[in-house]
Amino acid sequence: MPVVRLALAQMNAVVGGFADNVATITRFRAQAAGVGADLVVTPELSLTGYPPEDLLLKEGFVETAEEVLLDLVATGNLPPVVVGTVLSESSWAVRLAPSGDGRDVVVPTGVGTVGHLANALVVLDEAVVATAVKRLLPNYDVFDERRYFHPGVGPHTVINVAGAAIGLLICEDVWTAGGPAAELAAQGATLLVVSNASPYARGRPALREAMLAERARETGCAIAYVNLVGGQDELIFDGQSLVVDATGKVVARAGAFGEELMTVDVEVPPSSRGVPVPVRYARDEADARAALINHVTMPLDEIEEVYRALVMGTRDYLRKNGFRSVVLGLSGGVDSSLVATIAVDAVGARAVRGVALPSRYSSDHSVSDARELAARLDIDFTVTSIESAHQALEGVLGEVLGSPPAGLTDENLQSRIRGVILMAISNATGALVLTTGNKSEMATGFSTLYGDSAGGFAVIKDVPKTMVYRLCRYRNELARSLGDPEPIPVAVLDKPPSAELRPDQRDDQSLPPYEQLDPLLELYVEGDATAEQLIGAGHDRALVLRVTALVDRSEYKRRQSPPGVRISSKAFGRDRRMPITNAFRPESAGG
């Protein structure tokens, strides 16, 4: 049987960064030549970055993508490459003529009338060999591809590589039983190659593996699945590219959260049908013997996976947006301690500045714990009391309100003073302010607009409070295993959480205990359960109504929060789009 050597280019693409993406694809292609690969496969929309969103509607974007794609036509002895990109039907019908050696260009079929766009794959060698168009366009969760693309119809694309019939699919196309994957197998494909931009969420990698095993058994085909890696705004792409054989067994797995060229030899039975589009085969057997073939990287456990996602998401947001340093408020609490530690792991200690801004209500241990954390992380650290600013604004507000601010007004005043100082540091130095609020706080509105929510990036906005503690303990355990000092002081983890905006304040005076709160939030926010369903499942009625009311009336705050790393199946942001003005309440939950 033919043996095909695939090189799956698990790359970190930059949205709109055409020159960067061409350079990355070229680099991986050259590496693939060195290991004797027959075919290089890049992720979905690897040339444009994913998701390009409304850049697709900007004049010149699609035209630029089509121009730079031709820069990847092979010069020299490079293996053919499958490139993910966007195509307009009309321009490609005119722009690309049949190649000089008699191989016709396959223009996308069925993508609509002039001006319609396709999410596509283009096979490039010494000419454009073939194209394939995404058939199933996801329009749920973080996806809204029907806003931009039209689906392909008609016969699927099958190419001949080293005597193997390889069918081309894009992401969603492989997820449906009896769908495009089965159609390709019926068309004669004996190996399926899938280009993906599959965002990370907890549990998603295992779900992908199970799906691929099921699809391989259904089609009788081995499947090579290459995934994007890197951060793009809120989204994280974890990589973890896979190859499964026809029985569904994993025969190769790439690592998580890092670029990698995964090389795999796949034994492929001959096709029962003719495959008309050949791709040249010129493997250098001497080079091939040196390749690391069919390596299976062990999957990460959940908490390590989440931590690495947060680090990569923070690093890529800063790097891709041109920020060289960060600043954050260090309160001596668990949230800011975790964010500071992630920031150091993401961009290095020299690029992180911590600022403690104690008020008259701050405890001595809060400042000392923040100082100890900063020393362990070896970051720049300053302490500046906000008392003088607090007094000055109390006087101004006393005149405006008729009496000095008290209660919640005074608590929020302290938080906003801190926000002003941090944003001023940002303006003066160019450092991006990292906010430190977690998902439990964001869900319930336990934050101050223009105060602790003020900043440019919310590192742990999708991390529940109980998981914050797990991540801190994981990071300390990792340090111990490496023989390094634990970054997060034990005192930070042992004391009860408090905003310290009034005397003897604790979080559990305003919120249910996090051990009770977080499971309810997961069911209500991520699981879309109603209050009625939660009560019916046995949860305390008063607690359910209290929590769901907090979530519902805090939407306006979340709408004004900075972006942050998405690690769950439903984060606050692009995949949970609730209206701010919303009068709907299930009757049974309001009685």
Query: What is the structure's pLDDT at 589?
Result: 47
Query: What is the structure's pLDDT at 93?
Result: 43
Query: What is the structure's pLDDT at 105?
Result: 40
Angle between helices 407-429 and 387-401 in degrees, nearest 10:
130
Determine the 3-state secondary structure of 535 from DSSP: helix
The single-letter DSSP state of residue 98 is P
Please say whether the structural domain 303-589 has been given the CATH code 3.60.150.10.
no
Catalytic pick among 58, 89, 145, 171: 171
Cα radius of gyration (the chain): 27
User: Between the CA of residue 94 and those of 45, 68, 156, 212, 586, what are the distances in Å?
Assistant: 22, 16, 22, 37, 56
Tell me the CATH class for 3-299. Answer: alpha beta
Task: List the domain boundaries for the chain.
Answer: 3-299, 303-589
Q: How many residues does the chain have?
A: 591
Contacts of 166 (CB under 8 A, 6+ apart): 4, 39, 158, 159, 160, 189, 190, 191, 192, 193
- Give residue for tokens 């509105």: 445
d(CA 141, CA 48): 21
Query: What is the structure's pLDDT at 31?
Result: 94
If DSSP states are collapsed to H, E and C, what string results for 167-194? EEEEHHHHCCCCCHHHHHHHCCCCEEEE
Query: What is the structure's pLDDT at 115?
Result: 58
Contacts of 376 (CB under 8 A, 6+ apart): 485, 486, 487, 488, 489
Catalytic pick among 53, 89, 126, 134: 134
Report the candidate in 142, 7, 19, 14 with the shortest Cα–Cα distance to residue 82.
Answer: 7
Other beta carbons within 10 angstroms of residue 504's beta carbon come to 9
Kindly report whether the peptide bond that precedes residue 51 is cis, defined as omega within 30 degrees of 0. yes
Per-residue pLDDT tens listing for the chain (591 residues): 788 999 999 999 999 999 999 999 999 999 999 999 999 999 999 999 999 999 999 999 999 999 999 889 866 788 999 999 999 876 544 334 333 343 334 444 433 333 589 999 999 988 888 999 999 898 888 888 989 898 988 889 999 898 899 999 999 999 999 999 999 999 999 999 999 999 999 999 999 999 999 999 999 999 999 999 999 999 999 999 999 999 999 999 999 999 999 999 998 887 766 555 556 655 555 454 445 688 988 999 999 999 999 999 999 999 999 999 999 999 999 999 999 999 999 999 999 999 999 988 878 888 999 999 999 999 999 999 999 999 999 999 999 999 998 888 988 899 999 999 999 999 999 999 999 999 999 999 988 889 889 999 999 999 999 999 999 999 999 999 999 999 999 999 988 876 656 676 676 777 889 999 999 999 999 999 999 999 999 999 999 999 999 999 999 999 999 999 999 988 988 888 888 888 877 654 444
Active site residue 399: no
Active site residue 472: no
Q: pTM of the full predicted structure?
A: 0.91
Query: What is the structure's pLDDT at 77?
Result: 82
The angle subtended at Cα 234 by Cα 229 and Cα 240, nearest 5°, is 25
Query: What is the structure's pLDDT at 501?
Result: 60
Q: Is the Cβ–Cβ distance between 122 and 87 less than 8 Å?
A: yes
